[in-house]
Amino acid sequence: MGDRISIAKAARLLGIDRHELCDRLDHAGIQGFEGAVDLDAVKRISPKLSRSDALLSERTRLIQQTARRRQAAAPPRKPEAELQDDLDRMHNKWLLERKKAQEYSVLFDNLIDELGHWQASDDETKARFALEFSHWICKQFD
């Protein structure tokens, strides 16, 4: 058994109501004890938490890689106006990519929320599918 987290805190991390999380845990057969639940069990039914861990790991890896790089020789300096043009061009490109990433993030969050509703469904087939699909998504982030 891994780390334990309160059901209320897990629900806040997922952005859902505590009662909804309890329903999802119950449908998945995950038992809580004294208002807490195994964090790994919550991650298995919630791709949102697994995705957060994966993003954090990726950020850490990129920071470590960048810190190790050393520049052998300084490149020739460009004029200030040319540097500003390059910066503006990169900033505009970054804004477009950020917008696209935000749209995908919203879409993915909506998908995860819908899966959560399906997990708590009275339709056993729908609930089983949602649970299995959630497990698959979580594995993709490991």
Neighbouring C-beta atoms of residue 78, cutoff 10 Å: 11
Whether the CB-CB separation of 119 and 44 falls below 8 Å is answered with no
Domain contains 15: yes
Query: pLDDT, tens digit, for every residue of 24-80?
Result: 888 888 777 777 887 777 777 776 665 555 554 555 566 566 666 655 566 778 888
- Residue 112 domain-assigned (yes or no): yes
pLDDT tens, position by position, 13-24 = 777 778 887 888
Q: What was the pLDDT predicted at 49?
A: 63
Alpha-carbon torsion 130, 135, 140, 142, what sign?
A: positive
What local confidence, expressed as pLDDT, does residue 91 receive? 93
**Dist. CA 55–CA 134, nearest whole Å:** 18
Residue 72: inside a domain, yes or no? no
Task: Tell whether 40 is covered by a domain.
Answer: yes
Domain that holds residue 22: 4-67+78-141
Q: Residue for token digits 């299995």?
A: 132
Buried b (16+ CB within 10 A) or exposed e, 106-120: eeeeeebeebbebbb
- The pTM score is 0.48
Q: Has residue 43 been placed in a domain? A: yes
Q: Is residue 73 part of a domain?
A: no
pLDDT in tens, 92-140: 999 999 999 999 999 999 998 899 899 988 999 999 999 999 889 888 8
**Is 16 contained in some domain?**
yes
* The total number of structural domains that make up the chain: 1
Give rounded-to-5 percent helix, strand, coil for the chain: 75, 5, 20
Q: Are 39 and 2 in contact (CB under 8 A)?
A: yes
Q: What is d(CA 137, CA 49) in angstroms, rounded to the nearest whole number? A: 11
Structure tokens at 134: 């959630």
